[in-house]
Amino acid sequence: MSIDHPSFGRMDANRVIIFDTTLRDGEQSPGFSMNLAEKLRMAEALEELGVDVMEAGFPVASKGDFDSVYQIAQKVKNTVVCALARSGGKNDIASAGEAIKPARRGRIHNFISTSPLHMKYKLRMEPETVLEVIEAGNRAARQFTDDVEWSAEDGSRTEPDFLCRCVETAIRAGATTINIPDTVGYSTPEDMARIFADLRARVPGADGVIFSTHNHNDLGLGVANTIAALKAGARQVECTINGIGERAGNAALEEIIMVLRTRHDVLPYTTGIHTERLLRTSRMLATITGFDVQPNKAIVGRNAFAHESGIHQDGILKNAATYEIMTPESVGWNRSSLVLGKHSGRAAFRDKLKAMGYENLEEAQFNEAFSRFKDLADRKKVIYDEDLVALVDDEVRDHARIRFVALDVTAGSRRPATADLVLEVDGKREEGHAEGQGPVDAAFNAIRAIVAHDATLQLYSVGAVTEGSDAQARTSVRLEEGGKLVDGQGADADTLVSAVRAYVHALNKLLVKRDRAEPAALDA
């Protein structure tokens, strides 16, 4: 059975719409944030990946969120640009409608809670009032676009009969996509299958809309619940790159896609995703957010195709299919043996970066990365791919208002450590001097001497990019200010320099996050 959709036309029954919410739900992850330039870069990467819909933000939340949705709507050419809004928010729908106005194809995604718990304690609304809000919100959204999505927040814990009434109301008021999220990650696959089968069987007009599933990963069931929903008739999946999102995150896009591709024998669904771009998109997000993917992460973790067991290695050498159910190349891993060293030139460096997925570096970023590569090559015997990723990632991050320039530190057991630091702040060179309990403390105090702030250090972690005493250090820093958390990363052959780069990266993100505020709560 095919379905007509305002943005996608007549759809084959087994075509699955990929709705990516990395830029909205994903960015709400504790410690994560993106400025406008970073969101635009990520939006471009998502479109190249082939996502059908990208949820670009929550326009009413702040001017920054509105601007990012508006500019993404201007930039994106093929992907549907979606803006989030509360069904009963006083200005939400209008703000979302204005934000998506430049888009070739725009969507408004409005939502309201429907579970007894949320209605009683969060909304303080009676069920009949919620139904009225659903109708008014979707009718208002249809004034701006024919592509309207409605979500039942905490839908998986909503009473079945009331959920049917809510969905029927939304469809009657003009919603063309109905999303039933497992907002708190409570459900099992059996729960999700029952919910979607029930709605499709009982709700009038259900055969004329797309059902969508949005699963959080609190119990580690996000992807499994997504697959169960698809088998029960959902044809849109809401997901994020690397599975980022509130609390334990969302169902991971790369995992869903490779499940569908690898097990096409039992899941005969198709998408528009270019799987060979999965790894580079994952790495770009990790670079922007300053949050590395765990090594054993499915599909995009660095151990996903690594084999240490002798039995496994023997099998792989004889036939890769013995222990690999997909090829590394199918998701973007590169097995190039090209080795770079201190005698390598700009052309070889550029070719290597291109093979690793860094195709669109600005000339200034490339020049700075090449300069740091040559400096590193003078100090290291062997340059690994991981070394290049670390130093290039430092350059492709949007440094925004603060940029590291230089650091000198004196330390030892006989006297307090001191640090002399040079930063570029809003284009102006600034110098700071400070003492500390150790060299890292002194360096961080020097940052405070230049850029005054009240953020507290919540996390400081140092690891080696590769093996050996000459390995680059990769430092992670987490700052907290007024309940706002941000993570930063930095890499350098000098551990102290990598620490300062990480702190500066986090501080830049904190400056962006300061401008954001939660929208006012809904009144009953």
Distances (CA, A) of 298 to 22, 114, 274, 278: 18, 33, 17, 12
Burial of 155 (0-12, 13-18, 19+ CB in 10 A): buried
- Determine whether the annotation assigns residue 394 to a binding site: no
Instruction: From 373, 302, 362, select the one nearest 334 (Cα to Cα).
Output: 302
Phi-psi label, residue 299: left if phi above 0, alpha if psi -120 to 50, beta otherwise: left
Where is 285: in which H helix or E strand?
helix 278-289
Binding site annotation covers 109?
A: no
Label each residue of 391-445 as H, E or C.
Answer: HHHHHHCCCCCEEEEEEEEECCCCCCEEEEEEEEECCEEEEEEEEECCHHHHHHH
Largest separation between any pair of C-alpha atoms in the chain: 80
What gap in Å lies between CA 382 and CA 368, rounded to an integer?
20
Tell me: is residue 110 an annotated ligand-binding position.
Answer: no
Which residue(s) pair with 53 in the sheet? 19, 80
Within 10 angstroms of residue 77's Cβ, the number of other Cβ atoms is 10
331-362 as b/e, with b when 16 or more CB fall inside 10 Å? Answer: bbbeeeeeebeeebeeeebbebbeebbbeebe
Going by C-alpha positions, the residue among 165, 214, 170, 168 that lies closest to residue 192 is: 214
Q: From the centroid of its chain, how far is CA 191?
A: 27
351 is in an annotated binding site: no
Residues placed in the known binding site: 25, 214, 216, 250
Residues placed in the known binding site for Mn(2+): 25, 214, 216, 250
